[in-house]
Amino acid sequence: MRKKEANILIVDDDSDILFSARVWLKRFFSKVFVTDASKKIQQFIQENQIDVVLLDMNYRKGYEDGQEGLYWLNYLQENSPQTVVILMTGFGDVALAIESLKKGAFDFVLKPWNNDKLYASVNAAVDLARKNRKVEQLEKVNQVPEISFFEGKSISILHAFSLAKKVAKTDANVLILGENGTGKFILAQEIHRQSHRNQSVFVHVDLGSLNENLFESELFGYAKGAFTGAEKDTPGRFEQADGGTIFLDEIGNLSLALQAKLLTVLQNKTIHRLGEFRERKIDVRVICATNASIHQMVNEGNFRQDLLFRINTMEIQLPPLRERKEDVVPLAEFILEKFKFKYRKTDLKLSDQAKKDMENYLWPGNIRELENVLERAVILAEETTIDSYVLHFSAINIPEENAEQLTLEEMEKKMVQSALRKFQGNISKAAEELGITRAALYRRIEKFNLTA
């Protein structure tokens, strides 16, 4: 019988066990290693591609609780996850067997074993190890490569990133301003990544989609019994972000009443869970963002000035894509790399005409729209070159010569009108075309006194 190609490691402090198991398994598998010292497991998995480990659960005399075996089971799962582990013990402890299986052991062998059953268990484990390695190889082939963060060359974006890098090293609160799709979420993540809090959690809260009635329970948490359905004590987003960063997106959407509650938390650096009187200290770095004209909102009495002072220790303005034309093509090629690997079309490239048309397009949905256009183009591309006709630009583009004569608000109004006309009042499709949420589109319809 031809031996199966596999590396088996047997770990036991009993030399007789090692000898008998090795002699038996050596008949079926190409390599069988043995050791009587569990500490050598690390060396074996570093020097060999071990498929299966037969692991004794008890090493020290007088210790029969199996904890050392469970320790090394956990070690192997973390450091060699493709390796399959079969645990061995001379004690027929059913509870321990169940615990080891729950923790990820493939099988459980009682000593002394039946040779045929031992072979069957190890053989099945080898097959599983092979499948694990095939899955790992496929994931490596198909995974999107890690791409470095894109900044660009335009003066406006370089200024924004310069501010971000400086403030990232501090705990100062940051306010990021910019139209929808300009990359506010990405910039917030980058600030967190460059901060001393980068080993802690980054919590994103979309205030634009948060129901006002759920604001306190969602952000500050609630105690058991605080309201119907509150079956257990639950921390809010601020507590979840303790030690890290909380990103409050669309902060311009908050009502004045909710602004006051948020201001209290930011001033005192404490929260009270809903239905609880206990004061809880929080250590959180706050980054906020909005596409609203927040300074104008302050002047009109729709946003608290004291809250604005609290959240914008550093204010960073992200420019729209139409104001950084020199970045459009490099950014498009950067994004294209991600979709080329995602859809396994690694030979794709943009034609010269496509690049020119992308530079001349105004990108009302900014980077988010650029990503949508490129992903669709990669899916539809039947040749190695992506031409302009595959890009399917939005029909709501405004000629540049006219755009220069419009204010930003007038341009925004025309884009909304054009999208609504194109989709005959379909809010979902118009919002997707503009690269904004349905709620954001409804606010603009009301702002410009339009009809859907």
Number of structural domains the chain divides into:
3
Task: Indicate whether 312 and 382 sit together in one domain.
Answer: no
CATH of the domain at 71: 3.40.50.2300
Q: In terms of pLDDT, which residue wins out, 417 or 284? A: 284
Cα separation, 17 vs 36, in Å, equals: 10
Task: Indicate whether 302 and 409 sit together in one domain.
Answer: no
Q: In terms of pLDDT, which residue wins out, 187 or 437? A: 187
Asked if residue 170 is part of any domain, the answer here is yes
- Give the model confidence (pLDDT) of 186-205 as tens digits: 999 999 999 999 999 999 99
Asked if residue 271 is part of any domain, the answer here is yes
Asked if residue 18 is part of any domain, the answer here is yes
Task: Indicate whether 73 and 122 sit together in one domain.
Answer: yes
- Other CB atoms within 10 A of residue 147 CB: 11
Boundary residue ending a domain (317, 345, 362) = 317
Asked if residue 391 is part of any domain, the answer here is yes
Asked if residue 147 is part of any domain, the answer here is no
- The 10 Å CB-count burial string (b at 16+, else e) for 199-220 is ebebbebebbebeeeebbbbbb
Task: Indicate whether 161 and 290 sit together in one domain.
Answer: yes
DSSP helix/strand/coil, 289: strand
Task: Indicate whether 179 and 107 sit together in one domain.
Answer: no
Cα separation, 23 vs 439, in Å, equals: 71
Asked if residue 150 is part of any domain, the answer here is no
Asked if residue 159 is part of any domain, the answer here is yes
Task: Indicate whether 386 and 415 sit together in one domain.
Answer: yes
Amino acid at 422: K
Task: Indicate whether 89 and 222 sit together in one domain.
Answer: no
Task: Indicate whether 197 and 303 sit together in one domain.
Answer: yes
- Other CB atoms within 10 A of residue 64 CB: 14
- Tell me which residue range forms the domain holding 197: 155-317
pLDDT confidence of residue 402: 47
Cα separation, 364 vs 445, in Å, equals: 16
- Give the model confidence (pLDDT) of 356-410 as tens digits: 999 989 898 899 999 989 998 998 888 899 988 888 776 545 444 444 455 656 7
CATH of the domain at 209: 3.40.50.300
The phi and psi torsions of 127 (rounded to 5 degrees) equal: -60, -40
Mean pLDDT of 429-444: 78
Inform me whether the pLDDT recorded for 102 exceeds 70. Answer: yes
Terminal Cα distance for the chain, rounded:
76
Tokens of 186: 């990405």
pLDDT confidence of residue 306: 96
Boundary residue ending a domain (299, 317, 335) = 317
Q: For the chain, what percent of residues have pLDDT higher than 90?
A: 48
Task: Indicate whether 267 and 384 sit together in one domain.
Answer: no
Task: Indicate whether 260 and 342 sit together in one domain.
Answer: no
Task: Indicate whether 168 and 313 sit together in one domain.
Answer: yes
Cα separation, 273 vs 270, in Å, equals: 10
Among 148-157, 243-252, 288-297, the range scoring the smallest mean pLDDT is 148-157
Boundary residue ending a domain (290, 317, 344) = 317
CATH of the domain at 374: 1.10.8.60
Beta bridge partners of 174: 287, 314
Asked if residue 149 is part of any domain, the answer here is no
pLDDT confidence of residue 350: 94
- Give the model confidence (pLDDT) of 32-91 as tens digits: 999 988 888 988 988 888 999 998 877 554 445 667 778 888 888 888 888 999 988 775
Report CA dihedral (327, 329, 334, 339) to the nearest 10 degrees. 140
Task: Indicate whether 189 and 232 sit together in one domain.
Answer: yes
